[in-house]
Each structure stands twice: as C-alpha cells, then as structure tokens.
Structure 1
Amino acid sequence: MTSLLTTSSSRLTISARIEERLRQGELTQDRVDEFRDFLVEVDREFMQHRIITNNAYTRWFREGRATDEELVYFIQQFSVFSNQFLIAALQKVINSATLQQSRASREILLNELGVIYRKLGQTGSSRVTQSAEKDREGDPELVSTEGTVDGGICRFQAAHFEWLVGVAEGLGLSYGDIGKRKQGSPTTLHFCDELIRLYGSADPQIAEGASFAVENWAAAGFWQELEDGLTRIKQTRHPHLRLAFFTWHNRVEAQHAGHTLEELEEVYFKPDFDRTKFIQGGREILDAIAVFWDGLNSVTSDQ
C-alpha cells in the first residue's frame, strides 16, 4: 500500500498525492499549508513521544537478558493487553463514522480473531509454499501479512491469541495462565482501559487520533526489539520457544500504519475535523502506552 504521507529524517511531510490534489485545484495552497503545519504538530506530539523514540523496556529486552521469571511476567502482561485489545477493536468497529472506516476496523479485528489475509486475485483456497523456517516465519497458510480478510478463510489456529498460547506453553504456562483481566497488573489494566476509552471512542475525532498514534507506535520498532530479544533467548536457553506471534506482528504493522495515514488525509479535509481532539486522543493513548511499558520496566532485574 502507498502511504499518504512520507517520512524524511523521521519527519512527516506532504506527500505527492496531496501535491497532485493541489495541482488539480481540489485543495487550495492555504489548506495544504494548514495541513503541513498540522503534520508538524503531529510529529511533535506523537512521533517524538518518548515511548516511540526511547522505550527503555524494549531496549533492555532486545539484549535477551530477561530471566525466565521476567519472561513469564512479560508474556502474561502482554497477553492481557492482546486479549483486551479485542474489546477496543470491536468498539472501534461499532463506533465507526462511515462504512469505509468500519471495514478498515474489521480488517484488523477479524484478522486478530483468525481470518487470514487474502491477496487480491488469490482464491481463498490457494496454497502458499511452505517456509524453510516455519517457527520464525509462521505457517504461511495462516499468517499472510498482505491483502484483505474479505473472502479469506477463518482458522482457529490463525487467531493471534493462539500464537501467544504457543509462546506461553514453551515457558511452562497454559491457556488458563494468560490473557485474563485478573492476571493484569494495575499498569497493564490502565493501558487496556485507555485503549477501550480512546481507541474505541464514540467520538470519531478522539478515536482517529488514538488509532493513528497506536498504529504508528506499533510501526516504530518495538516489535523488532522484542523479536531480537526473544531470538537471543531461543538461541541460548529455550530452543523450542515459538516466536511466530512476534515475528508476524513485526512484519505486518507497517501495513496497518499505512491504513491510518490514508484515514488521516481523508478525515483532515472534512469540514467537521477537530484538530484539538485528534491530538488529544493520540497524546492520551501514547501516555497510557508509556504506563504499560514503564510498569514492565519497573520489575526487571536491572532496576
């Protein structure tokens, strides 16, 4: 997917698509200049947020020094967030302002629940060549990172939470040991509740800001740091640890961020766009994300 906006030295800039709309007279120079100023504000308030630029926990985690106790705690807390995200994602679907936004939200939710992305032009029954390293890449029939859930096949084993169960089992945990709200720490539950309140907000301006911030946080590199740390742990201590949940998310999040960039252009130029609420939704969810990671960081042995 072509992103609406591009980054230059980590800065959001006007895209060629916006420039083309200006040339065609669809947008005035004043409106494009206002949009450029807005991108500067988004970059400052979102992209330069400390949890995007300097996540202390994932920077530590990538070294692979987490003890087994710390690793178990991480998986439990991350699984609670992962499961509670389903509630926020469903609310986002329900509260979508347009059918197009509803479909974009359902793409994410249904894939989380096990509907496999289908590339356009590919039938639902098409088979994909098996990967040489199935654990790292995931079963290619279950973990496509491109396409649409429309016409895709639903498989229980493709549900993201089932992949987390596989990780947990490698650490001596069972299905009942992860993903439940009762297992969440106060900082984890704060993040989960803020996801439901902001990402799933009935106020479309708040929800758009939160969605843009969440997806760009997810695409900013923390998945790579988690994958690096888990790969080191797998190589040194737990050779049977299954990593597909983390490697798949590391590959797919840029596609999700691309969706939100398209949505940002669409909503910004609507007459009812509320710049203040958009920034509010994004800032508040990023602050909640920071609470989650700070909570994990506070229990590491390096503190």
Structure 2
Amino acid sequence: MNQVITKPNNLTISSRIEERLQRGELTQAQVESFRDFLNEIEREFLQHRIITNNTYTRWFSNGTATDAELQHFLKQFSVFSNQFLIAALLKAINSPTLQQSRASREILLNELGVIYRQSGKNSGQQIAQTEEQKDREGDPELISTEGTVDGGICRFRAAHFEWLLNVAEDLGLHYEELGKRKHGRPSTLHFCDELQRLYGSDDPQIAEGASFAVENWAAAGFWQELEDGLTKIKQTRHPQLHLAFFTWHNRVEGQHAGHTLEELEEVYFKPHFDQSKFIQGGREILDAIAIFWYGLNEDKLTQIST
C-alpha cells in the first residue's frame, strides 16, 4: 500500500517546547513569541504557491506524460538531483556547530550511497522480498529510511543518482545524458545555483531558513504526485519501470521535515537568531523551486525537450 503524504498541517508548539516551559528553561513570553514566529512561517513558507499549487506535478500525477515528456522530466530532475550534492557539501562545510555538521553529513553521505543503519540491526536480519516488493518498498540491502550513516555500509548502487539512473535507463536514457549542468534548462540551473547560494550559505540564518523550507516543500506532497503518475505509467505502458527512487523519497521526506522543526527549536532561542534572515532564506529558495517546476510546465506547454 502506498504511504500517502499530505500537505503539512499548521505548525504548532511541540511537546518539547512545553516541557522546556514546565522546567523553567523558557518563559511564557518566549513561547508565545515562538508561536507567533511559527504562524509567520506558516504564511510565508507552507502557503507558498509552489507548495499549495504545483501545476506540473498535479498534471504529472494523472500518468498521461508521453515518453518524450518523461525523458525531459527525468533529465531535468537528474540535473537538480546531482547538482544538489554541491549544495549539500557546502551546507556541511558551513555548518556553525559540530552537531549541525553531522546532521548535514547524514544527508550528503546517504545521497552518495551510505546506507542508514539502525542500532542493533545488521544486513543479515533482512526479510526476504520479491523483486516487485524491492521496487515498491526498496531493496533492504540498499535502502533504509531510519537510523544513521554512522557505521553504515557504502554501496555504489545505493547512491540516489544510481537509483534515478535505473528509472531513466528504462526509458532509453543513459548515464552520459544525465545530471550534468550542460543538460539543464535555464530554470533548472537557476534552482541549482540558488540551492548553493541559500541552502549552502555561510550565513547560518539564511541556511537554516532555506533548509527548513526545502524539507517542508519535500514533505508537502509532490513526491506522492510523482509516484502516482509513474505508478500509472508502469501499470499501463512500462511494466519494467523501476520506481524505488521515487517511492523511497516519498516515505522518508516527512521525517526530514520533522527534524527541521527540532533544529528550529534549538536555534530560535539563541541570542543572535535573526528571524528576518531565516524568512528570507526560506522564501527565496521556495521562489527558486517554483521557477524549476514552472519551467518544466512551460516546457511541456511549448513542447520543448532536451
């Protein structure tokens, strides 16, 4: 059964904040100020047009994309996916604390093929799966949605770009046609450059805002729409299509969004936290995400392919 990812609910004060209030670590005034800030994030981020109205992915979910449209989508998505590694590395390099550096490296190393390892479990404890289950739920030898990369095993085939390559090859695309800047449309490259500037910023306030916005965009439903469309295409036209790249991301992104709220709770109450820069970083990266998707939609309407 598919895991349905819905659009995020209103941000609320967590039990973690309530407990800090009860222990006297925070005042009622601080908690109310944080509540007001969450309401601002709700307006500026979670109500952004690319989260509430992604025309392209809504169309894609119908499963009517032609093979040429699918190839164009996968080529542009591969550029974003591969170039994201640069932004993720910058985020790790520019992290202001060791804890934040480790959190950033978790994401980067998993992207590169280090498998999340759950404490007390090893590869010999996996449950046997059929090939269809592996494609739907992820091969347990290559994919895990929980744990840490610390002590995990690195496998080339576990790199996210290789999962995406598996999808593309099923549709006649090959490694040399994917992932490079030269393959990107201007709207795609703008998004990649803004990821590096904002998500990988050396200003921790800008980077925090961009990271929070990116993870909440990723958890807001577009992965589900992509999975829905590809599943229909697999069922009707391309039974060989591998979907693990999309099904895995659909399952895991909601967890990432939850982690960003915990990170915000940690940094918000520090003396030098800058609310305006946080909002700026998030708003600007969401605008760049919108340009990426609107660019794909415009390419579809004008029948541009790469």
Alpha-carbon spacing, 1:126–1:102, altered in 2? closer, same or farther (3 Å)? farther
**Residue of structure 2 in register with 1:195 after alignment:** 195
Contact 1:130 1:139 in 2 (8 A): no
Contact 1:219 1:253 in 2 (8 A): yes
Aligned length, in residue pairs: 296
Instruction: State the Cα distance separating 1:210 from its structure 2 match.
Output: 0.1
Instruction: State the Cα distance separating 1:17 from its structure 2 match.
Output: 1.4
Alpha-carbon spacing, 1:88–1:9, altered in 2? closer, same or farther (3 Å)? closer
Q: For 1:73 and 1:215, how far apart are their aligned partners in 2?
A: 24
Q: For 1:302 and 1:248, how far apart are their aligned partners in 2?
A: 31
**Residue of structure 2 in register with 1:147 after alignment:** 147
Contact 1:66 1:300 in 2 (8 A): no
Structure 1: state its 5+ residue gaps.
Answer: 1-6
Structure 2: state its 5+ residue gaps.
Answer: 1-5
Instruction: State the Cα distance separating 1:255 from its structure 2 match.
Output: 1.4
Q: For 2:66 and 2:83, how far apart are their aligned partners in 1?
A: 26
- The aligned amino acid for 1:102 is S
Deviations 1:138-162 (A, max 9, x none): 2111111000000000000000000
Instruction: State the Cα distance separating 1:24 from its structure 2 match.
Output: 1.2
Residue 126 of structure 2: which of 125, 128, 133 is its match? 128
- The aligned amino acid for 1:192 is C
Q: For 1:94 and 1:126, how far apart are their aligned partners in 2?
A: 35
Contact 2:8 2:46 in 1 (8 A): no
Instruction: State the Cα distance separating 1:9 from its structure 2 match.
Output: 8.1
List structure 1 segments (4+ residues) > 6 angstroms apart after TM superposition.
none
Q: For 1:114 and 1:48, how far apart are their aligned partners in 2?
A: 34
Q: For 1:148 and 1:10, how far apart are their aligned partners in 2?
A: 27
- The aligned amino acid for 1:128 is Q
Indicate yes or no: 2:263 matched with 1:287: no
**What is the correspondence of 1:4-153 to structure 2 with a 5 Å cutoff?**
10-123=9-122, 125-132=123-130, 133-153=133-153
Indicate yes or no: 2:250 matched with 1:212: no
Deviations 1:35-93 (A, max 9, x none): 00000000000011011111110000000011111000000000000000000000000
Q: For 2:294 and 2:125, how far apart are their aligned partners in 1?
A: 42
Contact 1:131 1:137 in 2 (8 A): no
* SS at 1:126 equivalent: helix
TM-score for the superposition, normalised by structure 1: 0.95
Instruction: State the Cα distance separating 1:12 from its structure 2 match.
Output: 0.7
- The aligned amino acid for 2:95 is S
Q: For 2:233 and 2:181, how far apart are their aligned partners in 1?
A: 27
Instruction: State the Cα distance separating 1:8 from its structure 2 match.
Output: 11
* SS at 2:11 equivalent: strand
**Residue of structure 2 in register with 1:3 after alignment:** none
Deviations 1:18-48 (A, max 9, x none): 1111111110011111000000000000011
Between 14-23 and 265-274, report the one with greater CA deviation: 14-23
Give the aligned CA root-mean-square deviation in angstroms: 1.5
Alpha-carbon spacing, 1:203–1:154, altered in 2? closer, same or farther (3 Å)? same
Q: For 1:153 and 1:87, how far apart are their aligned partners in 2?
A: 22
Instruction: State the Cα distance separating 1:137 from its structure 2 match.
Output: 1.7
